[in-house]
Amino acid sequence: SVKLDAATQETFQRVNRPVPGVTLAGVLRDMKTFRDSFAGEFELQVMIFPPNRKEIEGIARLAAGIAPDRIHLNTPRRPYPDAWYLERRGSHGGVPYPARPVARVSTEEAAACARILRETAGVPVVAVYGE
């Protein structure tokens, strides 16, 4: 599977903090190239939270162009580190480093995002959100 959580370069930079030279356009190009050459189940992961919520329609249009077999819609759960700690990736327990809670969209917003993705991309959406 591949991950898409921005429809603009500005949000791509803010959300992903990529190394210099990595762009949204390049990532999208490479996703499409991979999709065209991959014969298996191709799934797209979309993480939705307040900084990219306003771009869901654009993300959905980009997803349609990638043509995944399925979209997994997720919301963040882990605290957000105040600084980048590579060795901390994947830690779901107590965080022994400076962090702050991450803002999440409401269950209703997540359901609306799932509907937009499903209708625009025309593929099943697996949504994990709410308590």
Residue 127 clears pLDDT 80, i.e. is over it: yes
Mean model confidence pLDDT for the chain = 86
Stronger pLDDT, 73 or 85, i.e. the higher one = 73
Name the percent of the chain lying above pLDDT 70. Answer: 78
In tens, the pLDDT along 25-55 reads 999 999 999 999 999 999 999 999 888 999 9
Tell me what pLDDT residue 131 has: 35
3-class SS at 47?
strand
Nearest partner of 99 among 85, 86, 82, judged by Cα: 82
Average pLDDT over residues 79-98: 57
Residue 89 clears pLDDT 90, i.e. is over it: no
Residue 88 clears pLDDT 70, i.e. is over it: no
**pTM of the entire predicted model:** 0.81
Q: Which residue has the tokens 């399925």?
A: 70
Tell me what pLDDT residue 80 has: 60
Nearest partner of 113 among 69, 64, 70, 55, judged by Cα: 55
In tens, the pLDDT along 92-104 reads 556 566 666 677 8
Domains of the chain (ranges, CATH numbers): 2-79+99-127 (3.20.20.70)
Nearest partner of 128 among 99, 105, 95, 97, judged by Cα: 105
